[in-house]
Amino acid sequence: MRVNGKKVGENVTLHSGDEVAFYMTPAEEALRAYTILYEDENVLVADKESGVSSEAVFRALEDEGERYFIHRLDRNTEGLLIFAKNREAEGELLSAFRERRVEKNYLALVFGRMERPADTLEAFLEKDGENARVRINTAGRGERIATSYEVLEERGETTLLKVTLHTGKTHQIRAHLAFIGHPVVGDEKYGDHAKNRALHATRQRLVAKELTLGGGILLAYLDGKTFLSQKNI
């Protein structure tokens, strides 16, 4: 990266009029930000790469035609995003997410062994906008959340989980699992920094693996259809 023609290797303060140039290797340029898994006249399902914002995927797709934003994934979470391709589909998808008629399952690699092979966790999530994070509590502050998990595999000091979101709040999976003492491997915001460094994990091991749609009129043909990410942990 260069700022005003000068190579920089650390954080710098930018000022109005500064020129920033970012250089990538041919290998980096060849990397895709997403893969299209499904597309018809109403919806498009993309498999997002880790390190790419949902907004960047949307902007790229928008260049190819009419697209409408439905939901987001954290930048370092990879996996499924669904977009609408017309206003009617947008309305039905937004209603389905709002009314919890969309089932969302994730894969998460966490530190430690779970106390139970499966459980549903309930708590409250409070947003801390100033620090761009959320805080979990059981004292009733904020919005009620519910997160289910199932142990898929124990891998030494880590455990692979299938996680189901019953409420889709900001950073819910990462913060909720960290709250019970099992942070997601590679999570720098809510995780264990020392353990992350020991495993050389710089991005959270979290995949939006399954997305199942429910209901709808225009999208009735997709009722019960499950989309699967090609990503694994």
pLDDT at position 17: 86
Range of the domain at 112: 103-212
Residue carrying the six token digits 């459980």: 119
Residue 87, in any domain of the structure? no
Say what the pLDDT of residue 12 is.
75
Within a domain: 201? yes
CATH of the domain at 197: 3.30.2350.10
110: in domain:
yes
* Within a domain: 131: yes
Closest CA to 201 of 212, 185, 178: 185
pLDDT means per 10 residues, the chain with 233 residues, are: 76 82 59 92 98 94 95 96 98 96 97 98 95 95 97 97 95 98 97 95 96 94 97 96
Q: Residue 97 falls within a domain, yes or no?
A: no
**What's the structural domain count of the chain?**
1
The full DSSP string for 118-147 is: EEEEEEEEEEEGGGTEEEEESSS-SEEEEE
- Residue 47 CA from chain centroid, whole number: 11
Q: Name the residues annotated as catalytic.
A: 74
Domain for residue 83, yes or no? no
Place of tokens 């299209």: 36
- Angle at CA of residue 151, ends 75 and 123, nearest 5°: 65
Is residue 195 in a domain?
Answer: yes
Task: Assign 21 to helix, strand or coil.
Answer: strand
Whether 24 is covered by a domain: the verdict is: no
Q: How far apart are CA 106 and CA 78, in angstroms?
A: 10
- Joined together, the tokens standing for residue 96 give 């389905």
Return the pLDDT at 6.
81
pLDDT of residue 24: 54
